[in-house]
Amino acid sequence: MPPSPRARTVGGLERGRLQPGRTRRAPDRPPRRPQKEFCIVFDQDPRQPDRFAASPPPGGSVPSGDPSPWFRSGQFPGAATAKPVTVAREGYLTMSFVWMFIGLLVSAGAGAFTLANPALLQTAANDFIVFLIAELALVFVISLGINRLGALPALGLFFVYALLNGVTISLIVLVYSTSPTTGLVEMANVQGVVASFLGASAIFGGAAFYGVVTRRDLTSLGGILTMGLIGLIVVMVVQMFFFADSTAFSLLIGVVGVVIFTVLTAFDVQRIQNGRLSWIKNSEAASVIGALHLYLDFVNLFLMLLRIFGGGRR
C-alpha cells in the first residue's frame, strides 16, 4: 500500500509504520558532557593532586587540605606582607603626631615670648597682614613642593610656620583676653581663652580617636569638606568687610567652623593611617605633611572656639 500524501517520514519512519529495509534510530542530540564535581570551598577539583601539599601557596590561596597549621602559626599567605604595611602606616601616624605636638610647643613658646616683649608685640601688630601672607606662602610651599624639598627642609619650614603662627595667635589671644571698653586684661576673658584651648584639645582628641578606630570610610567626605572650607573662608571675608560688628554672625561662623574642623580631623587621621599620602615619595616627608594637616586642624578648632567663648568677637 503506497503511503498517503499526508504521511510524514522521520528517520525512515512513516507515521505509525516502519518502512521495509529501514531501522528505527533516535533523533540527533548533542553528546552529553561528563559531569565534574568541584569542591567550592577552596576552588579545587578533588580528583586532582593537592597542589599545595609541599609548601604554602605564593598567590594568597589557602591549601585544600588541613589549613590549621597555617592558621595556628599565623604564617598563612598574606600575613607576612600585611604586618609590615600596618607597621609602616602606624609609623606615619605616630611621627605626624610627634611633629604636630612639637610644632604646637614652638607656637606656644613664640606666643609667650611675643607677649612678654612689648616691642615685638607692637611690630607684630603693625605687620599682622605681612605675617599672615608669609604663613600662607609657607603652607603652599610645603604642600606643593614636598617631593622636591625632602623631609628635612620641609620639617624646617614647618617649624618656621609654627613660629610665625605663634606670633599671630598671641595677638589674637591678647585681643580676646582684654576688655573691649577698658583695654585691660580681664580674668573672665582669660578663662574664655583657657576654655577654648581645653575644648579644642578635647574635641581634637576625640575626633582623632574616632578616625583611628572607625571602620567607616571617610574619604567620601573629602569633597564636602573642601566645599565647606571654601564657603567658610568666603563667609569670613564677607564678615570682615560688611558684618564686622555682628556678634551673631561671628557665633555662627564659630559653630560651623567647629563642625568642619572636627570632621576634618577625623578625616585627616584616617587618611594618614590608611597610607593615603602615598603620592609623597619620602615617608619622612609624608609624616611632615600629616603633621601640618593635624596642626592646622587643631589651631583652627582653637580659633573657632575663641569666637564662641569670646562672646562672638572676631
In a domain, 74, yes or no: no
- Show the DSSP H helices in 53-186 as ranges: 68-73, 79-116, 118-126, 128-144, 146-149, 151-177
Contacting residues for 220 by C-beta, under 8 A, at least 6 apart: none
In a domain, 104, yes or no: yes
- The values of phi and psi at residue 277, to 5°, are -100, 30
pLDDT in tens, 291-309: 999 999 999 999 999 988 8
Residue type, 36: K
Q: What is the pLDDT of residue 13?
A: 47
What's the rounded Cα separation, in Å, for the pair 284 and 113?
30
Which region among 111-115, 182-186, 212-216, 230-234 has the lowest average model confidence (pLDDT)? 182-186
In a domain, 136, yes or no: yes
Helices 128-144 + 118-126 axis angle, to 10 = 80
Q: What is the pLDDT of residue 98?
A: 92
What's the rounded Cα separation, in Å, for the pair 298 and 153?
23
**What total number of domains does the chain contain?**
1
Residue 255 is placed in which grid cell? Answer: 559653630
Residue 43, pLDDT > 80, answer no
Residue 249, pLDDT > 60, answer yes
In a domain, 245, yes or no: yes
pLDDT in tens, 169-209: 988 888 888 776 766 667 777 788 888 899 999 999 999 99
Distance of CA 58 to the CA centre of its chain: 31
Instruction: Compute the mean pLDDT over every residue in the chain, rounded to the nearest whole number.
Output: 75
> Are 247 and 309 a contacting pair, CB within 8 Å?
no
> Are 128 and 114 a contacting pair, CB within 8 Å?
no
> Are 297 and 97 a contacting pair, CB within 8 Å?
no
Q: The domain containing residue 129 runs over which residues?
A: 88-309
Residue 21, pLDDT > 70, answer no
Contacting residues for 91 by C-beta, under 8 A, at least 6 apart: 283, 287
Tally of CB atoms within 10 A around 220: 9
In a domain, 272, yes or no: yes
In the predicted model, what is the mean pLDDT of residues 225-250?
Answer: 85
In a domain, 146, yes or no: yes
Q: What is the pLDDT of residue 247?
A: 81
In a domain, 262, yes or no: yes
pTM, rounded to two decimals? 0.69
Residue 75, pLDDT > 60, answer no
In a domain, 229, yes or no: yes
**Which DSSP letter does residue 30 get?**
P
Q: What is the pLDDT of residue 66?
A: 44
